[in-house]
Structures are given as C-alpha cells and as structure tokens.
Amino acid sequence: MSQRFRTSRRALTAAAATAALTVTLAACGGGSGSGTDKHAGHGSTPSSSAPADGMASMPGMDSASTGNGLAAAKDGYRMTSTTDTLSAGRASGYRFAVTGPDGRPVTGFAVDQTKRMHFYAVRSDLTGFQHVHPTMAGNGTWTAPLAALQPGTWRLYASFTPDSGPGKGKDLVLSRTVKVPGMAMTTPLPKASGTTTADGYTVAVQGEPMAGMAHQLTATVSKDGKPVTDLQPYLDTYAHLTAFHQGDLAFAHLHPESKADGGHGGPTLTFHAEFAQSGNWRLFLQFQTGGTLHTAALTLHVG
C-alpha cells in the first residue's frame, strides 16, 4: 500500500477516535443520478452543521491528513478568494489562491492523478456536482471553469499537495462556500441503493463500510445487461470516485486500488474506502467511454 494510503489510515484512526468522543459527549449532554449535473467538465439550502470558512467541524474521511475538507485553512495553508457569489444559469470562472504558512501564494504543487489541482463543486442538497481542473497563473491565482450552477449554496473544494515548504508531500483539501442567487429548489437525498444508472450505463456498488474502518468498495459497470470492458483511462485509472456526507458535506476521496493498464478496462473497479463518519454519503463515480465522461451518483449508507 502506498505512503498516501498509510498516511490516510493513521489520520482516519485519529479522526474516528475524535468522532467517538464527540458522540459520547453529546449523548451525555443530551440528486439521484438524474440530478447530477452533466456538462463538458466533470460534472439547496445550506446545512446548519456546515461551518463557516476556516472553522473546524465534525470529522469526516478525506485523503491523507486533510481532515474533512470543510475548512478554508489547515496546517498553515489557506484557500483565499474575493468571490462569495456566482451567477446562476451560466458558466463562470471561480478565482482563488492557496497561501502557505508564510502568507504568500503557493505556486509549487505535486502531480496527483495527472493533475496539480482537483476542484469540486457540490450544492448543499447534493444534487449538483462538478469536478474540474483549474489553471494557475504565474502569480499563484487559480481559475476553476464551472458550468452553469443552479441557485442555492455551493461548497467549493480545492484538493492539492504542496511540492515544497513545510507541507511538502502532504495531501490537503480546503473549501469555501458561495451563494448562487435565485429560487433554490431543494431535492431530498435518494435512499441508499447499491445501483444507479447514467447515460444508459448501470453501475452497481458493493461493500458494507463501517465508520472508522478501512474497507474495499467494488463498482461494476454494465450496459444493456452486458459487462462493460471498454472503459478508457481517466486520471491515470479507469474511474474516479468522490463522496460527500449528507448534512455537513464532509469530503471523502476514495482511492482506486489500481492504475490504468492499457486502453480498455472494466467491468469491475475497486477502491480503498475509509469513512470516519457514519450516515449517508452521496457517491459520484466518473468513468469514460468513447471519449465521453459519465457521472453516476448513488447514496451509500455507512454504519
């Protein structure tokens, strides 16, 4: 197992212990697949449990020592932006920067799954989802190309690894929120289900994860009842899986257990999964066939 996975397991053990203590103290003190945005990129009322930017929150799973992805600052690194509102119904570019412990913009980032920065946008009711890869200017300012957003509150996540300085080699996920003006029509989260459909493909996910424990999730892709074996390489593997926790939108990046080996893959894909928090998680599985990216969404219950 890679150093990234070992680091993740150590971080999750600590996060799980924190979650258990929180639950104990509290006790004593007592879109469906069709709702997923489909666009050329990858890929509502705000939750009262979602923290303000830069504030701590409940523990959630994330890659390595990233925490739950709900803070704008961690370990001296900060996601900064002057934008807190984006227009509804049209594409937009979200500009931001990552500053280091010295307060200056970070410009050196390690490559992770072929990219130096992964950027996610998810609406507070989990019906909207985008995964894009921003471009960085020489001064350290990133621009994330977002497809049209529906009205509501959106949380925007930057996932990266500094390539120098005190955070070198450490995986981080920071996030901020933006408002999209207009009438926000919320959609209840679909019930937990092991299967979903997207663009004519059927995706089945198997696994019974428990909070605070490492598990394997297996996804199988089929079409018209037949196994799909023409999955194309995407981000150095055959599928990309991300999850967000219902309510607080804690972030979980679930790592593929193998890299792409050849031009065609499938139908079975396996992922290393660790969830520090129980409850419902919305999973977004992205895979590519015939040069087209597909996004399948389903709800997974973590015990």
- Model confidence over 41-54: pLDDT tens digits? 333 333 333 333 43
How many C-beta neighbours within 10 Å does residue 198 have? Answer: 21
- Report whether 180 contacts 87 (CB < 8 A): yes
pLDDT at 64 over 90: no
* For range 119-136, the mean pLDDT: 97
Burial of 279 (0-12, 13-18, 19+ CB in 10 A): middle
pLDDT at 194 over 60: yes
CA distance 275 to 181: 33
pLDDT at 55 over 50: no
Looking at residue 158, its pLDDT comes to 98
Looking at residue 147, its pLDDT comes to 98
Between vectors from CA 236 to CA 233 and to CA 242, what angle results, nearest 5°? 95
Structure tokens that stand for 214 in this block: 């490492």
User: What confidence tens digit (pLDDT) does each residue in 248-301 have?
Assistant: 999 988 889 989 998 899 999 999 998 879 999 999 999 999 999 999 999 999
Looking at residue 50, its pLDDT comes to 35
8/255: higher pLDDT:
255
pLDDT at 67 over 80: no
Looking at residue 212, its pLDDT comes to 85
The pair phi, psi for residue 156, each rounded to 5°, is -115, 125
Looking at residue 255, its pLDDT comes to 87
* For range 199-222, the mean pLDDT: 95
Q: How far is CA 167 from the centre of its chain?
A: 21
* For range 101-129, the mean pLDDT: 97
User: What confidence tens digit (pLDDT) does each residue in 216-234 have?
Assistant: 999 999 999 999 999 999 9
Band of the pLDDT at 303, cuts 50, 70, 90? very high
* For range 49-77, the mean pLDDT: 58
Torsion over CA of 16, 18, 20 and 24, rounded to 10 degrees?
-170
Looking at residue 203, its pLDDT comes to 98
What share of the chain in percent tops pLDDT 70? Answer: 78
Looking at residue 14, its pLDDT comes to 38
**Residue ranges in the chain assigned as alpha helix (H):** 3-28
Which residues, 6+ apart, have CB-to-CB distance to 261 below 8 Å? none
DSSP-based three-state secondary structure for 180: strand
Q: Which long-range contacts (CB under 8 A, 24 or more apart) does 6-12 make?
A: 7/64, 7/65, 7/171, 8/63, 8/64, 8/255, 8/272, 8/274, 9/214, 9/274, 10/65, 11/62, 11/64, 11/65, 11/66, 11/67, 12/61, 12/212, 12/214, 12/274, 12/276
Which residues, 6+ apart, have CB-to-CB distance to 27 below 8 Å? none
pLDDT at 235 over 70: yes
Structure tokens that stand for 23 in this block: 């639950």
Q: What is the mean pLDDT of the chain?
A: 83
pLDDT at 157 over 90: yes
Burial of 222 (0-12, 13-18, 19+ CB in 10 A): middle
CA distance 242 to 198: 16
* For range 207-219, the mean pLDDT: 92
Burial of 6 (0-12, 13-18, 19+ CB in 10 A): exposed
Looking at residue 276, its pLDDT comes to 75
CA distance 63 to 254: 8
- Report whether 256 contacts 237 (CB < 8 A): yes
Looking at residue 51, its pLDDT comes to 39
